[in-house]
Structure 1
Amino acid sequence: MPATTTGGADDALSRLVREALDRPGVTFRRLTESTVDPATGYRPGTTWLHKLVRNEVVRAPEPQVLRALAAGLGLPLLRVQQAAAAQYLDYVTTELTGLPADARAIVAHLAELDPADLPKVRAVIEAFVAGRSAPRGPGEG
């Protein structure tokens, strides 16, 4: 199925659907049949899905549509939401995999800080790391 655009974040959600359709055994009909929001039973229309594949959908899909797409594509909802954010809001996220919950919470709080305060936070972290790697004297734990 030809697409109007390719590559880049500008068509990230459309690209997810095109990539799914390129997998062996996946047909447009099977995809539309499995694209159902598990929470509400909502099904996007076939015409809307065709437009999405061709990158012709101009408004960001609603949450039930994203849930339906995640189910139909067999992808985590977060991945579909990230693709929609990239395509419709020009918002690209960075995944912090492998970090413990405390570290992710710290990073989330950093986003709320005034940019002028970030050098101070970095200095505190660097001092803490340097102190941990410094040789310890007798009696220091």
Structure 2
Amino acid sequence: MAAGELHERTDLSDLLVERMKELDLSYRRLEDLCVDPASDEAGVEHQATEPLWKRGTLENLAKRRRIKTPDLPQLRALAAGLQLPLDQVRAAAGAQYLGIDTVWSADGKVRALVQGFREMDPEDQDKVIALMESRRRIRRGT
């Protein structure tokens, strides 16, 4: 995919747009808020107050244009800026950039990362969920 082309999956883009509306954030304000909360830990090269997202990159992401795949510090920074759990932002990024869907059990206690889950037919999706449930029963000893 060439620069400027649109992504097929837009999970992270959609999450960004939705959350910016909810928080009434501009791209410039979100840029300022996108600081990695773990950046003050030992071994991290950037300064604690350095935003890891630029306004133009955020705008391109929101418009579903192709950007470089974000790394973990960038995802932590975006989660902080959007005031969302990191797992939610990581799941959206995994779906958009890698086609990996996060699938949860009915009770929300078991999670699986499944490539192309959304594209599976319902029968195969049910098999994945049944496998998750069976593994949970094995671990609990029931």
Query: Shorter-chain TM-score category?
Result: 0.5 to 0.7
Pick aligned residue for 1:89 from 98, 105, 110:
98
Q: Measure the CA separation in 2 of the matches of 1:47 and 1:80.
A: 19
1:13 matched to 2:12? The reply is yes
Contact 2:91 2:102 in 1 (8 A): yes
Q: Judging changes above 3 Å, is the alpha-carbon distance between structure 1 residues 39 and 54 closer, same or farther for their aligned structure 2 residues?
A: same
Q: From the two aligned structures, give the one with the greater strand fraction.
A: 2
1:33 matched to 2:32? The reply is yes
Contact 1:12 1:84 in 2 (8 A): yes
Residue 75 of structure 1 is matched in structure 2 by 84
Gaps of 5+ in 1: 109-114, 130-141
Contact 2:6 2:65 in 1 (8 A): no
Report the CA distance between 1:59 and its aligned residue.
Answer: 3.2
Q: Deviations over 1:30-54 (max 9, x none)?
A: 2121111111234212221111111
Q: Judging changes above 3 Å, is the alpha-carbon distance between structure 1 residues 46 and 91 closer, same or farther for their aligned structure 2 residues?
A: same
Q: Measure the CA separation in 1 of the matches of 2:32 and 2:78.
A: 11
Residue 138 of structure 1 is matched in structure 2 by none
What is the TM-score of this pair, normalised by structure 1? 0.60
Contact 1:48 1:57 in 2 (8 A): no
What is the TM-score of this pair, normalised by structure 2? 0.60
Q: Deviations over 1:103-123 (max 9, x none)?
A: x4xx87xxxxxx9xx7xx69x
Q: Measure the CA separation in 1 of the matches of 2:92 and 2:19.
A: 14
| Count of aligned residue pairs for this structure pair | 106
Q: Which has the larger radius of gyration?
A: 1
RMSD, aligned CA: 3.3
Report the CA distance between 1:29 and its aligned residue.
Answer: 2.5
Gaps of 5+ in 2: 40-47, 113-127
Report the CA distance between 1:83 and its aligned residue.
Answer: 0.1
Q: Judging changes above 3 Å, is the alpha-carbon distance between structure 1 residues 50 and 25 closer, same or farther for their aligned structure 2 residues?
A: closer
- SS state of the match for residue 56, structure 2? helix
